Amino acid sequence: MKHIFTFLLIGFLGFFATGSALAQPFSGGILLGGNSSQVAGDNFSGFNKAGFSAGVFVRTQLDTKYGLQMELYFTQKGARSNTKAEAAGNLAYLLRLNYVELPLIFQYDLGKLRLEAGLTAAFLTNSYEEIDYQENVNEVWRKVTLNSLFGIRFLISNQWSAGLRTINSINSIRTQQATGNVKRYGNKYGAFNDVLQLALFYTF
CB within 8 Å of 88: residues ≥ 6 apart: none
User: Rounded distance, CA 77 to CA 121, Å?
Assistant: 14
pLDDT band per the 50, 70, 90 thresholds, residue 21:
low
Yes or no: say if 148 and 125 are a contact pair by the CB < 8 Å rule: no
Residue 83 vs residue 75, higher pLDDT = 75
Beta bridge partners of 163: 153, 199
Contact of 165 with 148, CB cutoff 8 Å: no
Identify the CA nearest to 42 among candidates 98, 87, 82: 82
How is residue 112 annotated by DSSP? T
At residue 116 the predicted structure's pLDDT band, cuts being 50, 70 and 90, is very high
Q: Rounded to 5 degrees, what are φ and ψ at 43?
A: 75, 5
Check: CB of residue 163 under 8 Å from CB of residue 199.
yes
Backbone angles phi, psi at 18, to 5 degrees: -65, -45
Query: pTM value?
Result: 0.86
Alpha helices in 41-200 (DSSP H): 83-87
Domains of the chain: 2-9+29-203 (2.40.160.20)
Per-residue pLDDT reduced to its tens digit, 150-198: 999 999 999 999 999 999 999 999 998 888 888 888 768 999 999 999 9
* CA neighbor of 172 nearest in space, from 148, 202, 145: 145
**Per DSSP, which regions of 41-112 are E strands?**
49-61, 66-80, 93-110
